[in-house]
Chains A and B, each alone.
Chain A
């Protein structure tokens, strides 16, 4: 089976840096994706790691260690608009995604 673990909630202040961790157990692993979802909205793609290492996209970075079955999303220079839920998702064959339960990020002034 597949399972992903991520913290349910994280709180940080505006301008700070926050890291959201994700550990996974799965078969047929192709890569780890991250999606953002604002309340009442649809998930939107943030980042993807197929290989070990860091991927940087503006204020967001994502890291993967395949040997440790571990990844994280790093958000820098936090803004109020970053308050949302963040989901890690394992990509499998057929581009299927298995999602974690999500981490609710609250950014405070």
Chain B
């Protein structure tokens, strides 16, 4: 099992450009999440999904869109990148009821710089 994978690992964008970050999981998890982590800070939830075809806003959704067309994939889009979106982006997945902990499993992250 690869677990949670993210593509790409690094990316540099110019202000106004668009891009899509891909997250894939092979654990058949229902729930998937996108977080951002700024230097020296905790993770903040951008958007999440509780199943294929569903998405919902998290704490900091502005400037981002998501799609969950297949259960194993969760896409994060930036339509018009801004320097404030420079961050490390983590994807995570979990399976409700799998254990009492409902652990979230994280991908390795995508380091995005917007110039």
Chain B contact-residue range equals 20 to 34
| B-side contacts of A94, CB under 8 Å | 31, 48, 50, 56
Question: How would you classify the secondary structure of chain B's contact residues: helix, strand, loop or mixed?
Answer: loop
Could you tell me which B residues sit within 8 Å of A by CB distance?
31, 33, 40-45, 48, 50, 56, 58-59, 90, 94, 96, 100-109
List 30 A–B pairs whose Cβ atoms lie within 8 Å, in order of A's numbering. Answer: A33-B101, A41-B108, A42-B90, A42-B106, A42-B107, A43-B90, A45-B101, A45-B103, A45-B104, A48-B100, A48-B103, A50-B100, A87-B42, A87-B43, A91-B102, A94-B48, A94-B50, A94-B56, A95-B102, A96-B48, A97-B45, A98-B59, A99-B42, A99-B43, A99-B44, A100-B42, A101-B40, A101-B41, A102-B40, A102-B42
| A57 CA to B73 CA, complexed, in Å | 32
Contact in complex: A97, B104 (CB < 8 Å): yes
| A62 CA to B14 CA, complexed, in Å | 44
| B-side contacts of A44, CB under 8 Å | 106
Nearest CB of B to A66, in Å? 16
Other than the given A44-B106, A94-B48, A95-B102, 13 more pairs (CB < 8 A) read A33-B101, A41-B108, A43-B43, A43-B106, A45-B101, A45-B103, A45-B105, A48-B100, A87-B42, A87-B43, A94-B50, A95-B94, A97-B45
| A-side contacts of B109, CB under 8 Å | 42
Nearest CB of A to B52, in Å? 15
Nearest CB of A to B81, in Å? 23
